[in-house]
């Protein structure tokens, strides 16, 4: 799985700007401290995290729609400019997708998180700050990024929990996968990397999907982190093409 790092400097700026409004490092730290890798509260915790069912810690790629199923996954949002355009396009095509949200963006735009859920899409934890080097940091840091994002996304959605965890840039570790799985979030990979965050042009994005789809059903797009006009245009062309090829749309296996 390729590591994504290019074009991600915007998250450092967002993190800095969000420090004054986010409670991720304070209130959420209580939540983090209450859960270890097994999902059980640590000794002395005053409250337990919500009960959830542990899932497999292996990285999912397959689709629950079967051998001709595809999973549309949308990362890094929600974004007030691009997410509404993506949602409208998905509505027009009758397609459900998996939205991998960062904690900071979810906290900043809770109305969009609720709109995603209302449209029947599913949520994925994409960490708090989209740190693509988190696999090289402490296990405590990894846990906090995952668990704080889970809490904030759940609150922003009005109580709907993320069902998956996608490591920023694919920076999974055995520990991060175990933490996510203990909270009922299946680690989520991808098979088709559209490279849309590099803004290669809508034609290139479409061609990448058509060329790499035999690699597997999970396709990676982005709705934040920069100008996503090319992504929107590519989706406008890719979704009908997939239908013409006889594919159906599903969610990643759990």
Catalytic annotation present for 75: yes
Angle separating helix axes 110-118 and 139-157, nearest 10 degrees: 70
3-class secondary structure for 124-164? EECCCCCCCCHHHCCHHHHHHHHHHHHHHHHHHHCCCCCCE
Coil, strand or helix: which one is 203?
helix
Burial class for 79, CB neighbours closer than 10 Å (0-12, 13-18, 19+): buried
Selected catalytic residue, list 4, 126, 130, 222: 222
Q: What is the CA radius of gyration of the chain?
A: 17
List 75, 79, 131, 135, catalytic entry? 75
Question: What DSSP letter does each residue of 24-56 carry, written as one string?
Answer: TTTHHHHHHHT--TTSPPPTT-SSPPPP-----
Inter-residue long-range contacts of 9-12, CB under 8 Å, 24+ positions, other chains counted: 10/225, 10/226, 11/102, 11/104, 11/129, 11/130, 11/131, 11/225
Local structure of residue 3 (DSSP, 8 states): P
What the block records as the tokens of 214 is: 């035999």
Catalytic residues: 75, 222
């Amino acid at each position: 799985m390729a590591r994504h790092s290019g074009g991600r400097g915007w998250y450092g700026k967002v993190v800095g700007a969000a420090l004054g409004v986010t409670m991720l490092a304070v209130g959420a730290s209580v939540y983090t401290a209450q859960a270890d890798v097994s999902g059980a509260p640590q000794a002395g915790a005053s409250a337990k995290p919500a009960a959830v069912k542990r899932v497999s810690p292996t990285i999912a790629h397959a689709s629950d729609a079967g051998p001709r199923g595809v999973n549309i996954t949308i990362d890094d949002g929600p974004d007030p400019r691009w997410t509404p355009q993506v949602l409208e396009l998905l509505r027009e095509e009758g397609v459900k997708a998996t939205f991998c949200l960062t904690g900071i963006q979810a906290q900043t735009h809770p109305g969009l998180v609720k709109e995603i859920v209302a449209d029947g899409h599913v949520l994925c934890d994409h960490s708090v700050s989209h740190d693509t080097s988190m696999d090289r940091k402490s296990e405590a840091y990894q846990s906090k990024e995952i668990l704080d994002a889970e809490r904030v996304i759940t609150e922003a959605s009005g109580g709907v929990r993320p069902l998956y965890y996608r490591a920023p840039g694919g920076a999974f570790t055995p520990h991060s996968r175990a933490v996510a799985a203990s909270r009922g979030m299946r680690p989520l990979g991808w098979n088709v990397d559209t490279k849309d965050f590099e803004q290669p042009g809508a034609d290139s994005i479409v061609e990448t999907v058509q060329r790499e789809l035999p690699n597997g059903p999970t396709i990676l797009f982005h709705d934040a982190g920069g100008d996503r006009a090319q992504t929107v245009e590519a989706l406008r062309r890719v979704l009908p093409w997939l239908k013409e090829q006889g594919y159906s749309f599903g969610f990643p296996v759990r």
